[in-house]
Every structure is written in structure tokens, then in C-alpha cells.
């Protein structure tokens, strides 16, 4: 991806810019939505195991604030900070490198629509993130579940002691599938709707990003599977884990969730995820495009 014609500084620039944008998105709004979403899914998992009625997303949010305070929405921030510094750089550098390489090919530029190139480059960039994001997202979910008393360091020590290094990569296939489809959809759908929006300028770009982020949440089942699977690494009490949480295959877990909680269970926490996706799409799709146009 780095040619001899000076594209190396461009990649380094993308790395730095990606880190800054991802950290800003995570710390300002992405992390609270992540904790809220994870807590909602975990609440539904507990409801399934204890045969009680699950609570809705806003009930979970009120419960978090009432019992643990507003700052608990930023629990797991050290892990998220590491993820933001590294995975944002990986995403933006790889996504933009793939997009520009595909767009630079005369053959592909003629045969592939810009939206198609957006889908492909977004999927490649998202998949590259999985190596960094799996352990970080696990720690955010773990602290949201109360592991380590809400401390990221203590939660990491517990997982290391009980599960070893492999415990940090529980649910990695679901993370890879989620991230590939995340950024394929966010980039691709945004590129698809952009020409169809009548508003021009920055307002039109932001509107396209919001639509792309909202519609990209079709892959929420992968996120539900990720949290369900990683619950195995968070707790050592097997009596609290449903059978689907002990399986390794993404689609087996998905089938178990649908069986125990219905098809709607695969979209648990979609509300906070829509807010998170819109916010992150604006930061990591719309803003880079606006910066490139200047």
C-alpha cells in the first residue's frame, strides 16, 4: 500500500488523524453508548438465565446512573483509550489506503461504483481492527458487568488468571464479522446515499453520515453474539452462563439467542447502538472526507 511516490507520509498522516478522531469519538460519546449497549445485552442475558422479564434500554440506562452514577458510563475507559489510539489509526489508514488504491485503478474505477468501493474498503479496514478491538471491547464489557469491581486493571488480571491470553480473544470471530460489516456498511451506505441527499455542503455530508450510521446497525446480531460469547471470559460461574455463551461458532450462538429470546433478542441494545453508530460514522467517515476535500 506504500508506494515509492511519497504515499508513506500520507499513511502516517492517516494514522495520526485516525487515532485522534477515534479517541475523540470514543471519549466524547462512543464509550457511554458502548457501556449502555453492553449493559443492556448483559441485562437480557441475566434475564434469560434467571427466568425474569428483561428491562428496556432506557430502564437499563436509568439503573446504571441510579446505582453507579453518571461516571460509570465511562467505565473501562483505559481499555477504550488504548483501542481508540490504535484501532482508529488502523481503521482509517487501512480503509483509506484500500479505497484510494481501488479508486486509482482505471479498470476498477470504471467497473465499480463509488459505493461498491466504499463497501469493500470499509470491510477491509474493519476486519483489520479486530486484532486490537477484541481484547479492548472485552474489557469494556467486563467492567460494565462489574468484573474487577469496575476496575479495568483488576478485570484484566481476573481474565488473565482464569482464562489466560485466549480469554482476551473470546468472541474474536464475532468482532471481526461485526467490524467488517460495520465499516463496509457505514462507508458504503454513506457513499450510496450521499448523491441522493438534496442538502449540500457540510449539512449534507453529516446527514449522509447519520443515515449510513443508522442503517449500518443491521448487523447488531454480531454484536449481541460478541457480548454473549465474551461473557464466558468475564465470569467463572458456569451456572450463570447459558449454553449459547459457551459455544465457539458465531452462528450457533446466534441460533441459541434466537431460540431463547426470539428474533428480537438478536437486536437487543439496537437503540444505543444506533446513537453510537451515527456518532462514529460522522467522526470516521464524514469528517475525513471533509478534511480531504480541503
**Axis-axis angle for helices 77-104, 152-163 (nearest 10):** 80
For residue 164, what pLDDT is reported? 86
Give the CA distances from residue 112 to residues 115, 118, 146, 195, in Å, rounded to whole numbers and listed in that order. 8, 10, 47, 16
Give the CA distances from residue 28 to residues 24, 83, 247, in Å, rounded to whole numbers and listed in that order. 6, 14, 34
- Closest Cα to residue 280, out of 80, 124, 62, 2? 80
Helix (H) or strand (E) holding 212: helix 201-215
Q: What's 221's DSSP letter?
A: H
For residue 87, what pLDDT is reported? 74
Record the pTM. 0.75
Q: How many CB atoms lie within 10 A of CB 100?
A: 16
- Closest Cα to residue 149, out of 82, 234, 84? 234
The residues, ordered by sequence, that sit 6+ positions from 215 with a Cβ below 8 Å of its Cβ are: 185, 189
For residue 21, what pLDDT is reported? 67
For residue 277, what pLDDT is reported? 92
Give the CA distances from residue 180 to residues 84, 122, 174, 183, 262, in Å, rounded to whole numbers and listed in that order. 17, 7, 10, 6, 25
Distance, in Å, from the CA atom of 177 to the CA atom of 283, rounded to the nearest integer, reads: 21
- Closest Cα to residue 61, out of 215, 261, 290, 275? 275
Structural domains for the chain: 13-292 (1.50.40.10)
Distance, in Å, from the CA atom of 98 to the CA atom of 122, rounded to the nearest integer, reads: 8
Please say whether the beta carbons of 270 and 278 come within 8 A.
Answer: no
Q: What angle do CA 14, 170, 45 make, to 5 degrees?
A: 110
Which residues, given as ranges, of the chain have pLDDT below 70? Answer: 1-29, 50-52, 232-248, 293-294
Amino acid at each position: 500500500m506504500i508506494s515509492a511516490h511519497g504515499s508513506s507520509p500520507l499513511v502516517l498522516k492517516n494514522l495520526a488523524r485516525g487515532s485522534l478522531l477515534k479517541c475523540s469519538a470514543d471519549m466524547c460519546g462512543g464509550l457511554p453508548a458502548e457501556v449502555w449497549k453492553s449493559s443492556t445485552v448483559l441485562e437480557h442475558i441475566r434475564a434469560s438465565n434467571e427466568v425474569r422479564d428483561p428491562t428496556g434500554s432506557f430502564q437499563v440506562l436509568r439503573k446504571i446512573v441510579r446505582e453507579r452514577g453518571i461516571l460509570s458510563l465511562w467505565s473501562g475507559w483505559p481499555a477504550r483509550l488504548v483501542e481508540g489510539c490504535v484501532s482508529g489509526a488502523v481503521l482509517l489508514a487501512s480503509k483509506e489506503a484500500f479505497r484510494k488504491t481501488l479508486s486509482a485503478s482505471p479498470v476498477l474505477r470504471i467497473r465499480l461504483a463509488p459505493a461498491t468501493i466504499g463497501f469493500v474498503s470499509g470491510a477491509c479496514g474493519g476486519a483489520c481492527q479486530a486484532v486490537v478491538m477484541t481484547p479492548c471491547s472485552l474489557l469494556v464489557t467486563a467492567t460494565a458487568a462489574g468484573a474487577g469491581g469496575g476496575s479495568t486493571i483488576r478485570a484484566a488480571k481476573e481474565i488473565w488468571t482464569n482464562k489466560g491470553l485466549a480469554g482476551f480473544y473470546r468472541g474474536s470471530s464475532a468482532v471481526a464479522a461485526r467490524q467488517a460489516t460495520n465499516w463496509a456498511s457505514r462507508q458504503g451506505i454513506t457513499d450510496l446515499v450521499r448523491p441522493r441527499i438534496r442538502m449540500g455542503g457540510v449539512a449534507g455530508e453529516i446527514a449522509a453520515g447519520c443515515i449510513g450510521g443508522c442503517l449500518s446497525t443491521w448487523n447488531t446480531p454480531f454484536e449481541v453474539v460478541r457480548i454473549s460469547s465474551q461473557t464466558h471470559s468475564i465470569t467463572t460461574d458456569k451456572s450463570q452462563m447459558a449454553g449459547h455463551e459457551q459455544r465457539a461458532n458465531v452462528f450457533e450462538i446466534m441460533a441459541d439467542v434466537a431460540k431463547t429470546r426470539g428474533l428480537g433478542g438478536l437486536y437487543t441494545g439496537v437503540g444505543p447502538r444506533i446513537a453510537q453508530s451515527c456518532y462514529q460514522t460522522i467522526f470516521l467517515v464524514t469528517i475525513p472526507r471533509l478534511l480531504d476535500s480541503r
